[in-house]
A and B are shown apart, each in its own frame.
Chain A
Amino acid sequence: MTPRWKFLLAGGLVFILLAALIFVPILRRRMKRASKLQQQSEEQARRELTQPIAINSGDPRVKTKLFWASDTIDATLAPVTVDLPLSNDPVLRSKQVLNTLLAGPVDAELRTLPPDALLLAFYLLPDGTAIADFSEALATSIPSGIASEQLAVNSITRTLEANVPQVQRLKILIHGQEVEALAGHLDLTGTFAVNTKTGQPPVNPAAATPALAPAALTPEKAPGKLAQPQGKP
């Protein structure tokens, strides 16, 4: 290599180094700004989604039964009656009662749902199936365990049952997704029965309504072959 080439190569390297020194900080600043903007828009979208349903003072005041934990009997619910202006529209009414349930009782010890959980959306299908979409905090902040998770779901279904007769069964989603279990225990793949007197039986595997199985000592029917889950050999 001739000295001229060496000189050109060294010059080129110095130029690349200088360019990198100038442009890398600018690039980093821009990436930071873009990520901040993305975070802000996500937060904005979240806020829009989770706008609490305003209680309309024009709505008729109704004696509303809310189910929180009992202060006398362990792992059971107790109804608390409060006067609330509630909409006649079943979806709005469901959102109003569930948001009040999420807000919690006066005695925070009797909460059944985590204080940071939010109701993101609520839909009611013509067949009486309601879909309640909660934020991730419902699954991540709830005390883990069969008793506490069942109590949480029962407080939701019994509150809906007491105040929104149109809801016959409830499907719970977490941040728009179906999850296998609430916090590792309670089955969220099916629907939970709500208004069992007026409704049809739930169509999915899991049902919240306790059903006393007859004390049969053999299976009700000789079981057939067991279908394997997807992906199982």
Chain B
Amino acid sequence: MAAPSGAPTQQSRLNVVVLDPAHGGTDPGARGTGGIRESEIVLSFAMEVRRELEQQGFQVLQTRQGNENPSFDDRSAIANAQRGAVFVTLHISSTGLPGTVRVYVNSDLPPVADSNGMIPWDRAQAPFLGLSRTFGDFVQGFLAQRFKGSPETSQTASVRQLRTTSAPAIAVEISSVTVEDRADLDRMAPGVADAISRGAAAFKPSYIVPTTPGALP
């Protein structure tokens, strides 16, 4: 069915944050020599981020609560079913300067909408790239204040998880599983949670999505 291209008839604001602890199940993600597994750490980070976001008044949805491994599409589908949501996928790297955090937004995508006015699922992120960058820059700015050596602005990368997400979407990658003691990473969780929730709060007034009847979600 073609999407009407008329003037926006209503506006929605950010009220939902979808948190995606990456990997899980048989996919442990990055692994450190000390037995640190990315899939476990990101889950505990997600709990901390969730608490901070809920204190800010956001409704939080998680793509996984335990040690499951939903597909990329299943994770995106949770965000794509919401109105006025942002998507944050959490990762721990296996390289990079320990104690730093990078925010990524998806690389440029070709124009959206096919001849029927449908947005292909595999390019769902395309209309949101500008918003994703704004959101990413807010979060990266707060992270740079907390974690010295982190970039000042968000980076671009072809992140598979972000491409199919039809919402402002960022990937947050914390360095790294190479730390000798897991406690070094755990100590970063409150700072990361604070930066993400402050970033979401700062981004909220900017997030006005023109919608038309029959349009997303």
Interface status of B156 (Cβ within 8 A of chain A): yes
> A104 contacts the other chain (Cβ, under 8 Å)?
no
B211 touches A229 (CB 8 A): no
In chain A between 198 and 233, which residues have their CB closer than 8 angstroms to a CB of chain B?
Answer: 201-229, 232
* A194 shortest CB reach to chain B, Å: 14
Q: Is the CB of A223 within 8 A of B163?
A: no
* Option from B120, B130, B157 in Cβ contact (under 8 Å) with A146: B157
Kindly list chain B residues whose C-beta atoms are within 8 Å of the C-beta of A225: 1, 3, 117-119, 214-216
Determine the main DSSP class of A at the interface with B: loop
Q: Would you call A180 and B72 a contact (CB within 8 A)?
A: yes
Asked if A148 is at the interface (CB within 8 A of a chain B CB), the reply is yes
CB distance from B112 to the nearest CB of A (A): 7
Question: With contacts defined as CB atoms under 8 Å apart, how many contacts are there between chain A and chain B in the complex?
Answer: 196
> Does chain A have a CB within 8 A of B30?
yes
Which chain A residues lie closer than 8 Å to B134 at the CB level?
A: 215-217
Interface residues in chain B, defined as those with a beta carbon under 8 Å from any beta carbon in chain A: 1-3, 5, 8, 22-23, 27, 29-31, 38, 72-73, 77, 80, 91-97, 100, 102, 104-105, 107-110, 112-114, 117-124, 127-134, 149, 155-161, 163-164, 166, 171, 173, 175-176, 206-212, 214-217
Chain A residues near B (Cβ < 8 Å): 74-75, 143-148, 150-151, 153, 180-181, 184-190, 192, 201-229, 232
CA distance A217 to B131 in the complex (A): 6
A214 to B129, CA, bound (A): 9
B166 close to A223 (CB less than 8 A): yes
A-B contact pairs, 27 of them (CB 8 A): A74-B96, A74-B100, A74-B149, A144-B94, A145-B30, A145-B94, A146-B104, A153-B158, A186-B159, A187-B163, A188-B160, A189-B122, A203-B110, A206-B158, A211-B156, A218-B208, A218-B210, A219-B127, A219-B209, A220-B129, A221-B113, A222-B3, A222-B5, A223-B112, A224-B119, A227-B114, A227-B118
